[in-house]
Amino acid sequence: MPIVKFYASLRRLAGAKEKVVPGGDLRAVLEMLAADIPAFRPYFDGARVRAIITLNGHTLNPDTALQTSVSEQDQIAIFPPIAGG
């Protein structure tokens, strides 16, 4: 099962640095996270990702990320959105 790593404020919300989550694609992984961690729901509403997500160190396009297949060896990193100036 893929390992999901949490960073910054998401780590506090998740209560852990990482979590093993089943799923064949990123949508399934995020749906499982939203079900297990209610505080995560604002970052994923079922149709849109509101976080920065990397798969094995490569940043995913938020418009197509949900269709991305994941395998047992994959590492998914989730960062909260960043704003600044």
Closest by CA to 21, choosing from 6, 43, 42, 41, is 6
Is residue 84 in some structural domain?
no
Q: Which two tokens stand for residue 40?
A: 């995560």
Is residue 24 in some structural domain?
yes
CA distance 85 to 80: 16
User: The CATH number of the domain where 36 resides is what?
Assistant: 3.10.20.30
- Summarize pLDDT for 24-80 with one digit per residue, the tens: 999 999 999 999 998 888 888 778 888 999 999 999 998 889 999 999 999 999 999
pLDDT of residue 71: 95
Residue 18 CB burial class (10 angstroms; 0-12, 13-18, ≥19)? middle
How many structural domains compose the chain?
1
What φ, ψ does residue 8 adopt, rounded to 5°? 55, -135
Is residue 85 in some structural domain?
no
Give the domain range for residue 29.
Answer: 3-79
Least confident of 2-6, 16-20, 45-49, 77-81: 45-49
Q: Is 23 helix (H, G, I), strand (E, B) or coil?
A: coil
